[in-house]
């Protein structure tokens, strides 16, 4: 069965374009504003939303996201608020929301309980930056039980054998890390991204989105020329932080213009 995220990607594909995935952290700058920010993403052209769970030790994140998630934690962010934000946002919008979380919060909440509450509050699945398929047996079983997507990461350094395991374990799409490094805007999206996506396709991946380092409409355009979607995080977080909600909406629609005419 095709998941909602897969259906969105497939629909965009038949329309001759890629998808735009926008990331924001939950509870930043506050619970209420965080719900409004998700609505702004959805209403300005985001096809899929990635909602990050603030975590004390985010090893995959650069300074922009670290600063935002730290502030959410300092304001007392709790996992219960994650599900509240999801419920409130999914009541208003149809855009599927994937939760991006480091693994320990899920372990502590309880993998089965997390999956169940995620599904009940309208979430589509999880992106797990520090959980590789080799360690994911329980999550794979729980996500199957609750019909949730599970997005694993593929890296330029991954062997073909590992890429196959990531592809086989993922549902929704495979998250191709554009470069060896952490989140944050980069002037050039690495040629490594194009090579990685090509390798993923040749290993049988049917849906691949590229993330890390993407911050402009031109980059979205380039990336969706060879991948099924482009993921933007730090740039949106910085925009929301420095210029507020309206600017976030504007930047989202500008980035989404990068999707037009990207294919053929």
Partner 1 sequence: MSLRDETGPYFGEYGGRFVPESLIAALDELTDAYLAAKHDLIFQAELAELHRSYTGRPSIITEAHRFAALAGGARILLKREDLNHTGSHKINNVLGQALLAKRIGKTRLIAETGAGQHGVATATAAALMGMSCVVYMGEVDTERQALNVARMKLLGAEVIPVTHGSRTLKDAINEAMRDWVTNVENTHYLLGTVAGPHPFPVMVRDFHSIIGNEARAQLLESEGRLPTAVAACVGGGSNAMGIFHAFLDDEVALYGFEAAGDGIDTPRHAATLERGRPGVLHGAKTYVLQDEDGQTIESHSISAGLDYPGVGPEHAWLRDSGRAEYLGVSDAEAMQALWDLSRTEGIIPAIETAHALAGVLTLARTMNPDDIILVNLSGRGDKDMETAARYFGLLEDKA
Q: Which residues contact partner 1 by CB under 8 A?
A: 55-60, 62-63, 66-67, 70, 73, 78-79, 103-109, 129-132, 134-135, 152-159, 162, 166, 177, 180-182
Closest separation between CB of residue 11 and partner 1, Å? 28
State the catalytic residue, choosing from 6, 47, 61, 149: 61
Comparing C-alpha atoms, which of 24, 22, 23, 19 is closest to residue 9? 19
Closest separation between CB of residue 158 and partner 1, Å? 6
Alpha-carbon distance 118 to 147, whole Å? 10
State the catalytic residue, choosing from 50, 117, 149, 228: 50
Closest separation between CB of residue 62 and partner 1, Å? 8
Are 58 and 66 in contact, with CB atoms under 8 Å apart? yes
Alpha-carbon distance 105 to 136, whole Å? 14
Beta carbons within 10 angstroms of residue 238's beta carbon: 20
79/93 with CB nearer partner 1: 79
Alpha-carbon distance 185 to 234, whole Å? 6
Closest separation between CB of residue 42 and partner 1, Å? 26
Alpha-carbon distance 85 to 91, whole Å? 10
Upstream peptide bond of 29 is cis (omega within 30 degrees of 0): yes
Closest separation between CB of residue 154 and partner 1, Å? 6
93/132 with CB nearer partner 1: 132
Kind of pairing between the strands at 229-232 and 149-151: unpaired
Which value, to the nearest 10 degrees, does the dihedral of the CA atoms of residues 198, 102, 65, 74 take?
Answer: 170
Known catalytic residue: 84?
no
Tokens of 247: 């600017």
Residue with tokens 């990050």: 52
**Burial of 219 by CB count in 10 Å (0-12 exposed, 13-18 middle, 19+ buried)?**
buried
8/155 with CB nearer partner 1: 155
Known catalytic residue: 61?
yes
4/199 with CB nearer partner 1: 199
63/120 with CB nearer partner 1: 63
Are 62 and 22 in contact, with CB atoms under 8 Å apart? no
143/165 with CB nearer partner 1: 165
Closest separation between CB of residue 31 and partner 1, Å? 15
**Catalytic residue list:** 50, 61
């Amino acid at each position: 069965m095709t998941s909602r995220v897969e259906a969105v990607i497939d629909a965009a594909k038949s329309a001759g374009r890629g998808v735009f995935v926008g990331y924001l952290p939950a509870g930043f700058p506050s619970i209420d504003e965080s719900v409004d920010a998700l609505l702004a993403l959805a209403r300005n052209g985001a096809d899929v939303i990635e909602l990050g769970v603030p975590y004390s030790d985010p090893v995959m994140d650069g300074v922009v996201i670290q600063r935002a998630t730290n502030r959410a934690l300092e304001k007392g962010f709790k996992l219960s608020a994650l599900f509240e934000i999801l419920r409130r946002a999914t009541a208003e919008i149809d855009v599927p929301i994937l939760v991006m979380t480091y693994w320990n919060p899920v372990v502590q909440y309880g993998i089965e309980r997390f999956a169940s509450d995620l599904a009940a509050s309208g979430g589509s699945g999880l992106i797990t930056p520090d959980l590789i398929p080799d360690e994911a047996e329980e999550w794979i079983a729980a996500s199957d039980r609750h019909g949730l997507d599970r997005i694993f990461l593929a890296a330029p350094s991954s062997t073909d054998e590992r890429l196959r395991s990531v592809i086989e374990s993922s549902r929704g799409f495979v998250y191709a890390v554009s470069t060896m490094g952490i989140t944050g805007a980069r002037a050039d999206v690495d040629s490594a991204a194009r090579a990685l996506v090509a390798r993923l396709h040749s290993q049988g991946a049917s849906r691949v989105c590229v993330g890390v380092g993407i911050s402009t409409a031109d980059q979205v355009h380039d990336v969706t020329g060879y991948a099924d979607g482009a993921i933007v995080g730090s740039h949106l977080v910085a925009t929301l932080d420095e210029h507020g909600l309206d600017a976030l909406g504007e930047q989202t629609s500008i980035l989404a213009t990068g999707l037009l005419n990207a294919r053929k």
